Amino acid sequence: MRIIVCGAGSVGQSIVSYLVKGNNDIAVIDHDQRRLDELSREFDVLPVLGEAAHPDVLERAKAGQADLILAVTDVDEINMSICQIAYSLFNIPRKIARLESEVYLDPIWGELYNDKHLPVDLIISPAHEIAENILNILRYSGSSGILPVLQDKGCVLTLKLAVDCPLLNIPLTQLIRQLEDVVKIAVISVTRDNRCFIPEGYDSFMSGDEVNIFVNTDEVYNVISAFGLEKPANERILIFGGNAIATYMGKKLEQDDTIVSSKVIEEDLETARRLAKDLPATVVIHGEMLSDVILDEADISHTDAAVAVTENDKDNLLDSLLAAKCGVSTTLAVINTPSYNNLIFNIGGSILVDSRAVTISKMLKELRRADIRNAYAVSHGNGEIWEIEVQAESLCSGKKIGELNLPRQSRIFLIRRDDTNIYPDPTTVLTNGDTLLLYTDSMAIREVENIFT
C-alpha cells in the first residue's frame, strides 16, 4: 500500500513506526528537516520537505499513486485542507484527518465530512482516544487495559500478574476448567520478558506476565478477582500535565458521580489558567510536578490513581514512579516512544499507555486489505485483534478452522454466533453470519490478510 503521512511530529512518528511493520511504501511530509532526518535514519521512508497542504509538495510525495493519505499535522485546518487537495487534485481513495478541536469534533457538524463538502473518510483525535483508553482503565480498577469488542458485549482485558497471583504455574487447560464455575474466558496472548506469544494448553502463567484475556463485559470484575488483582475504586484522581488529554479527561471526570476529586498539576502558568477556566470543578495546581511541596498540596498520599500525560516520556515515567513511591495504588504513564515499552517491565508496576497503539487502533480498519469490521492494536503494538464477519460468499464459510492454514502466530479465539459465544478448536466449522475474533502477531499480518481478503 502506498501511504503518505503529512506531519512528522509525535503523532506522525508514532504512526510511521507502526506502518513500517507492514509491506507499505511510505512517504512523510514535514516542513522541519530535522524531524525528517530523524525518521529517515530509523525507517525506510521517503522524506519530503515542505508544506503538506501545497499541491507541488504532495506531487513530490507521489500523491497521484497513493492509496491512503494521513493528515496528522498539529493544525486542524491544515489537515482538512490536505484532505481536500488530495481528493480534488490527486483522487486519493482514502483520507484520514487528525482533528483535535472540540468544535470540529462536535457531532452536530458531522455532515460536514463527506465528498460534497470536506472529503474526510475518517477523523482521528489522538488526545481523545488516549483519554478514553485511560478512563476505561480507571473504571476497572485492577486491570492494565480494557478493550470493548463485539459492540460492547465482550472485552479484551489486559492484566499484569503479580507474584501472589493464585493462578500461576497451572497449565492453561486446567486453569480454564478451574474457572468455568466462576467465569468463562479465552486466553489470547501473553507478553513475557518483552516477548509476545500465543500460549498453548500446556503453558502456564508466570509472575510478571502481561496477559490478554477475552471475557464477557459483565464478568470483568469476576476475572480481576479470580486473578487476585482487586483494588479499591479509583475515586481520587491526580493528573500530571495539562495538555489536551488532561482537558478531555478532566471534563469526563467532572461528569462522573463516582469521582470524589480530580486534580491537575501543570508547570506552565498560562496553561494552568486555561485549565482552571475550562475545568471549574477540578483543582488545578501550578508548579513543578516533582516538587515535594506541590505533591503535598495535591494530597498525593490520599490519591487512588495518578496519570502522567505530558509530552515527555521520561517525565511521565518519573511522575508515575514517584506517585507509586508515595503510596498511590494505580499509576499510569503515557508513552510515545516504542523503546520505552520494554523498560517499564523492569522498573516498576506502572500501567503503560502506548499512545502509538491507541492511535493506530482507530485507523487499522482503513489500513488492512482484509474485509474486517473492526481492528485493534494490542500488546504494545506487537499484535492485532480483528473482528471479521463471515459472509455467505466468503471463502472461509463452511470450512473448518484447521483448513484455513492460519500461521502459527495467529488464532481465532472466539466465535460469536446467534448471541452465543463459541470457544473454537481446529475442527470448528465457520458458518455464514459468524463474527470471528482473531489475534495475529504483527509479523503474520500479511499472511492472515491473504486468507481473509
Q: Is residue 120 located within the same domain as residue 204?
A: no
Calculate the average pLDDT of the chain.
91
Number of domains in the chain: 3
**Could you write out the DSSP letters of every residue in 419-441?**
TEEE---TTPBP-TT-EEEEEEE
- Among residues 66, 89, 124, the one where a domain terminates is 124
Distance between CA 164 and CA 161 in Å, rounded? 8
Using one digit for the tens of pLDDT, what is the confidence trace for 42-90? 999 999 999 999 999 999 999 999 999 999 999 999 999 999 999 999 9
The stretch 385-395 carries a mean pLDDT of: 87
Q: Are residues 153 and 102 in the same domain?
A: no
Q: Where are the beta strands (DSSP E) in 66-182?
A: 68-71, 94-98, 122-124, 145-149, 154-160
Compute the distance between CA of residue 207 and CA of residue 162 in angstroms, rounded to an integer: 5
> In this predicted model, what pLDDT tens digit does every residue of 89-112 receive, in sequence order?
999 999 999 998 888 887 777 778
Q: Give the pLDDT confidence of 212-225 residue by residue, as tens digits.
A: 999 999 999 999 99
What DSSP character marks residue 65?
Answer: G
Q: Which of 226, 260, 293 is the last residue of a domain?
A: 226
CATH code: domain of residue 442: 3.30.70.1450
DSSP line for 7-55: --SHHHHHHHHHHTTSS-EEEEEES-HHHHHHHHHHS--EEEES-TTSH
The grid cell for 128 is: 481523545
Question: Cell digits for 269?
Answer: 502558568
Range of the domain at 172: 142-226
User: Is residue 186 domain-shared with residue 112, that is, in the same domain?
Assistant: no
User: Looking at the domain assignment, is residue 269 inside a domain?
Assistant: no
Average pLDDT, integer, range 320-336: 92
Q: What is the pLDDT of residue 339?
A: 61
Same domain, residue pair 8 and 105:
yes
Q: Say if 23 falls within a structural domain.
A: yes
**What's the average model confidence in pLDDT over 312-320?**
92
**Could you please report the per-residue DSSP string of 191-227?**
EETTEEEPPPTT-B--TT-EEEEEEEGGGHHHHHHHT
pLDDT in tens, 270-309: 999 999 999 999 999 999 998 999 999 999 999 999 999 9
**Single residue among 91, 124, 157 that ends a domain in this structure:** 124
Within 10 angstroms of residue 138's Cβ, the number of other Cβ atoms is: 25
Report whether pLDDT(377) > 70: yes
Write out the three cell numbers for 451: 486468507
CB-based contact 448:407 (threshold 8 Å): yes
Considering the domain architecture, whether residues 99 and 35 belong to the same structural domain is answered as yes
100-114, 250-264, 315-329, 392-406: segment of lowest average pLDDT: 100-114
Q: What is the pLDDT of residue 228?
A: 94
Q: Is residue 106 part of a domain?
A: yes
Report the SS3 class of residue 78: helix
Q: What CATH number should be reported for the domain holding residue 53? A: 3.40.50.720
